Amino acid sequence: MRSKKTTRDFGTDSYAGPLLEVNDVATHFKTPRGLVRAVDGVSFTLERGKTLGIVGESGCGKSVLSKSIMGLLPPRNVVRSGSIRYNGEEIGSAKASEMAGIWGTEMSMVFQDPMTALNPVMKVGKQITESLRYHLDVSKSFANETATELLRSVGIPEPARRVSQYPFEFSGGMRQRVMLAVALACGPKILFADEPTTALDVTIQAQILDLLDEQQRERFMAMILVTHDLGVVAGRADEIAVMYAGKIVEKAPTRALFSSMRHPYTEALFKSIPKLALPSHSHLESIPGRPPDLVDPPAGCRFAARCPYAQPICTEVEPPLIQQDELAHVAACHFPVGTEAGNEALARNKAAGVVAADSKVGG
């Protein structure tokens, strides 16, 4: 067993700035069809111990964003740009060998599908202890005790017996708990949770989210919670960023976002959450159309084609992210929801029988 080989020391807490500063990060994939702009200019900061929720529908670039920040994407055919500062250190262009000192110990990730993200032929205990042994150079017995303790803390009954079992001997929810234990083993300061509950049974989802919450608070760990479900981040994130077609279209403290959402896409996402109060068999609200092609994104606002507020300017000029009523609340829209301009635009469209910008083109 080789001992820890860190190229840089990221463990210093003397840096007073934010834990993570992401500035104008773009991630493009080279494909035969052209450059896919999966993430196209995203900026945010994350403070120690806080949670950022990243919300958006499939293909909006939210998973790519978190993998890109961690530097987990394969180097081939991927173009990354922008600045990512972790604890004040630039890691946006770090090579895999340099990132190895960050992975596991500073940043860690919980994946979507617990059925495939654990090694099927390795005992779960070993999957926890190997990173302990590798990074922290602790003794075998200490690592084993820590693994048992970790399994206990993520709510696995009889952890001492379970450490020597294989993933297939666990249920889906239990596996997600195991994965969390694996990710937490070396005490990371940021946890990326990429759709951590999507593959799970609804009854288990809340348990896992509560567990994430609890572990985060105990460890004073920052978290980036990626999900397609506004309901998941509602009570749990300090701040929410809504992504659409590779860009952040709205970002606000959670309460501000829910009380006064400004972007029509956020509103549409919110409306598509099923409500218990509604009678059964009532139709779910859905967003018409499909997200734009990221090889050749449309001019102007990328949501315009599906937006009930869209006006001619929306397909011509791209709206910048500008501050709304509250300091930390930004949205990128020419006719923000709930404002005078927005209400007027919506009323005008309704009067003309237009549902979205592209319905005018299509007739």
Given the structure tokens 């020391």, which residue do they identify? 9
Map the chain to HEC letters.
CCCCCCCCCCCCCCCCCCCEEEEEEEEEEEECCEEEEEEEEEEEEECCCCEEEEECCCCCCHHHHHHHHHCCCCCCCEEEEEEEEECCEECCCCCHHHHCCCECCCEEEECCCCCCCCCCCCCHHHHHHHHHHHHHCCCHHHHHHHHHHHHHHCCCCCHHHHCCCCHHHCCHHHHHHHHHHHHHCCCCCEEEEECCCCCCCHHHHHHHHHHHHHHHHHHCCEEEEEECCHHHHHCCCCEEEEEECCEEEEEEEHHHHHHCCCCHHHHHHHHCCCCCCCCCCCCCCCCCCCCCCCCCCCCCCCCHHHCCCCCHHHHCCCCCCEECCCCCCEECCCCCCCCHHHHHHHHHHHHHCCCCHHHHHHC
Please state the closest distance from residue 96 (CB atom) to another protein, in A. Answer: 8
Please state the closest distance from residue 182 (CB atom) to another protein, in A. Answer: 7
Please state the closest distance from residue 122 (CB atom) to another protein, in A. Answer: 7
Interface positions with another protein (CB under 8 A): 70, 72, 96, 100-105, 107-109, 111, 113, 116-122, 130-131, 134-135, 166, 168, 179, 182-183, 185-186
Please state the closest distance from residue 252 (CB atom) to another protein, in A. Answer: 29
Query: Considering beta carbons, is residue 126 or 360 the nearer one to another protein?
Result: 126
- The tokens describing 82, both together, are 């922008």
Please state the closest distance from residue 225 (CB atom) to another protein, in A. Answer: 16
Please state the closest distance from residue 337 (CB atom) to another protein, in A. Answer: 37
Please state the closest distance from residue 50 (CB atom) to another protein, in A. Answer: 21
Query: Considering beta carbons, is residue 191 or 314 the nearer one to another protein?
Result: 191
Query: Considering beta carbons, is residue 101 or 308 the nearer one to another protein?
Result: 101
Query: Considering beta carbons, is residue 70 or 256 the nearer one to another protein?
Result: 70
Query: Considering beta carbons, is residue 168 or 220 the nearer one to another protein?
Result: 168
Query: Considering beta carbons, is residue 226 or 287 the nearer one to another protein?
Result: 226
Query: Considering beta carbons, is residue 132 or 310 the nearer one to another protein?
Result: 132
Please state the closest distance from residue 305 (CB atom) to another protein, in A. Answer: 33
Query: Considering beta carbons, is residue 67 or 306 the nearer one to another protein?
Result: 67
